[in-house]
Amino acid sequence: MTTSNALEMRGISKSFSGNTVLADVNITARAGEVLALLGENGAGKSTLMKILAGVHQPESGEILIDGQPVKFARPADALAAGIAMIYQELSLAPHLTVAENIFLGREPLKAPTFGVINHRELNDRAKSLLSEYGFNLNPKARVAGLSAADRQQVEITRAIVEAKRVIVMDEPTSSLTDSEVKELFRLIRDLKARGLAVIYISHRLEELDEIADRVTILRDGKAVYSGVWGEINTDEVIKHMAGRELKEIFPPRKASTGEVKLRVRNLTQLPKFDDVSFEAHAGEVVGIAGLAGAGRTELVEAIFGATHATSGEIELNGVRILHSQPSKSVPLGLSLLTEDRKRTGLCLNLPLATNITLANTRALVKGGRMQNRLETNAAQNYIQKLNIRPPAPAKPVGRLSGGNQQKSLLARWLFANSQVFMLDEPTRGVDVAARSEIYREVNELAESGAAIVMVSSDLPELLGMADRILVMRRGKLVAELDARKTTQEEVLKYAAVEEQN
């Protein structure tokens, strides 16, 4: 079957502050097909898509929709041309409801002259769409109170409503469970059947076998490969992305467990989780699995002290923490790399160096004064250790790629001399090469005697990294599995099935 080119981007180049981000990039997206757009963090994918969305303007090159040249001076121009975006960093209005976000700018009116919104019709239409797409959301709920997975579903719904010719999905499955991913793939097949072109950006290469038709790979701002999906194998895809071979995605680790570093007894925070008990030993990686809403994030936040448990006990290196809070737990060696690095982890407008040293500023004080030189030197050590790019301590951390932002958070807890690392979705939105670097650092931490608690929705990640996997369902700890002997199917069975025989 012959398909037409819904979108062409020809010779696109873009620089910021003299640094070339895109250099003469060409991509083509065909009607009724999925184009996988791949590349490491910082390869130029997001900048290229922001040019398509009218957020940035190219310095050279042209954009064609259905063969006709177009210019987008602002996002509204791209939207009017039928181009919709699902951004990796969600762009929702948190103070508005689910329905208001879905139809923002296109609200049904009952008094058009005065701009009065018909809220009943707005909510009814949103409810119908959410039901059609398989998303169990209340259209009247405020977005500010939603989980990361629920916010992702709102973003997806809004983009599908907006899309007329091309829809761009930037890491759309990063917050979704396996069942929600399957529903999204069904929606993508529907979009293809309607003749839309889908540009799909993902670091989860394994999921592309189900939906991708073609692929373009960017590296260092250049398109280094374009072709039919499946013509080259995964190792070759990774080599094109990284410019080198990655022999081991999950590097080996010397298994040697020691004393109990973290002990949790009967911890409860109703209705989020109830009566949870477990231990994490020195040299051990303990994985925590479960579907969205199982209470995984709420559990590690309560252990860290970001929220308060209503009952139960926490011991850190044998010291009981009463009413745990970060100001007490961090000096004792406990850390939390949060699920949403932009909302709850990083200070985006502050320099990289400040973000790295934020949890241990007392180490930078001499004679009662903060020493900027000490801050810069400390940051440079961890920038080099974790290969954070660009190696610029003064650069605002918000301008780094997702993978480098995540590494900067890990650097923060290394500088804080943590001994128990709780990592909530540590590789979400992180490319294959950066992911491998994070895994290697996790293994080094475990081998040095730290205890690691890793929350992840990525089951291959847990199976590849953890020694034990704790499975949560509806706030309860329902299973403890040997990661070397279990399977994805067994983990999902415990996570999803109400009763075990």
pLDDT at 263: 96
406/341 Cα distance (integer angstroms):
7
Pairing of strands 468-473, 285-289: parallel
Cα Dmax for the chain: 75
- SS3 track for 385-412: HCCCCCCCCCCEHHHCCHHHHHHHHHHH
151/172 Cα distance (integer angstroms):
11
pLDDT at 255: 76
Residue 136 — pLDDT band, cuts 50, 70, 90?
confident
Lowest mean pLDDT among 211-215, 426-430, 451-455, 481-485: 426-430
477/274 Cα distance (integer angstroms):
8
Phi, psi of 5 (to 5 degrees): -85, 110
pLDDT at 1: 46
Q: What is the mean pLDDT of residues 125-132?
A: 91
Residue 376 DSSP SS3: helix
Name 258's Cβ contacts closer than 8 Å, sequence gap at least 6: 281, 282, 283, 449
Torsion of CA 356, 358, 362, 364, to 10 degrees: 40
Q: In what order do the strands lie in the sheet with 19-30?
A: 19-30, 5-16, 60-65, 68-70
Instruction: Give yes or no for residue 42 having a pLDDT over 90.
Output: no
- From residue 314, alpha-carbon distances to 268, 311, 421 in Å are 11, 10, 15
Instruction: Give yes or no for residue 63 having a pLDDT over 60.
Output: yes
Q: What is the mean pLDDT of residues 289-300?
A: 89
Instruction: Give yes or no for residue 118 having a pLDDT over 60.
Output: yes
289/376 Cα distance (integer angstroms):
38
Amino acid at position 179, single letter: S
179/134 Cα distance (integer angstroms):
10
Q: What is the mean pLDDT of residues 301-325?
A: 88
**pTM for the full predicted model:** 0.67
158/99 Cα distance (integer angstroms):
9
pLDDT at 501: 40
Residue 275 DSSP SS3: strand
Neighbours of 365 (CB within 10 A): 11
Q: What is the mean pLDDT of residues 12-38?
A: 92
Residue 210 DSSP SS3: helix
Residue 269 — pLDDT band, cuts 50, 70, 90?
very high
Q: In what order do the strands lie in the sheet with 319-320?
A: 273-281, 260-269, 311-316, 319-320
Q: What is the mean pLDDT of residues 226-248?
A: 82
418/412 Cα distance (integer angstroms):
9
Supply 197's token pair. 């072109």
448/89 Cα distance (integer angstroms):
34
Residue 248 — pLDDT band, cuts 50, 70, 90?
low
Q: What is the mean pLDDT of residues 289-296?
A: 87
Q: Answer whether 95's CB lies under 8 Å from 144's CB.
A: yes
73 burial type by CB count under 10 A (0-12 exposed, 13-18 middle, 19+ buried): exposed
Residue 96 — pLDDT band, cuts 50, 70, 90?
very high
Give the pLDDT confidence of 181-201 residue by residue, as tens digits.
888 898 899 889 989 999 999
Give the pLDDT confidence of 74-90 residue by residue, as tens digits.
999 999 999 998 876 66
Any bridge partners for residue 69, and if so which?
64
Q: Answer whether 262's CB lies under 8 Å from 280's CB.
A: yes
Q: In terms of pLDDT, which residue wins out, 70 or 244?
A: 70
Summary mean pLDDT of the chain: 89
501/492 Cα distance (integer angstroms):
15
Residue 24 — pLDDT band, cuts 50, 70, 90?
very high
270 burial type by CB count under 10 A (0-12 exposed, 13-18 middle, 19+ buried): exposed
Q: Answer whether 351's CB lies under 8 Å from 396's CB.
A: yes
Instruction: Give yes or no for residue 499 having a pLDDT over 70.
Output: no
pLDDT at 2: 52
Instruction: Give the number of C-alpha atoms closer than 13 A to the C-alpha of residue 211, restricted to the C-beta side.
Output: 30
pLDDT at 498: 58
% of the chain surpassing 70 pLDDT: 96
Q: What is the mean pLDDT of residues 278-295?
A: 93
Q: Answer whether 451's CB lies under 8 Å from 483's CB.
A: no
> Which range scores top for mean pLDDT: 190-194, 421-425, 430-434?
421-425
486/251 Cα distance (integer angstroms):
19
Question: Taking Cα atoms as reference points, which of 202, 243, 150 lies closest to residue 427?
Answer: 202
pLDDT at 322: 65
Amino acid at position 192, single letter: K
pLDDT at 245: 64
pLDDT at 180: 77
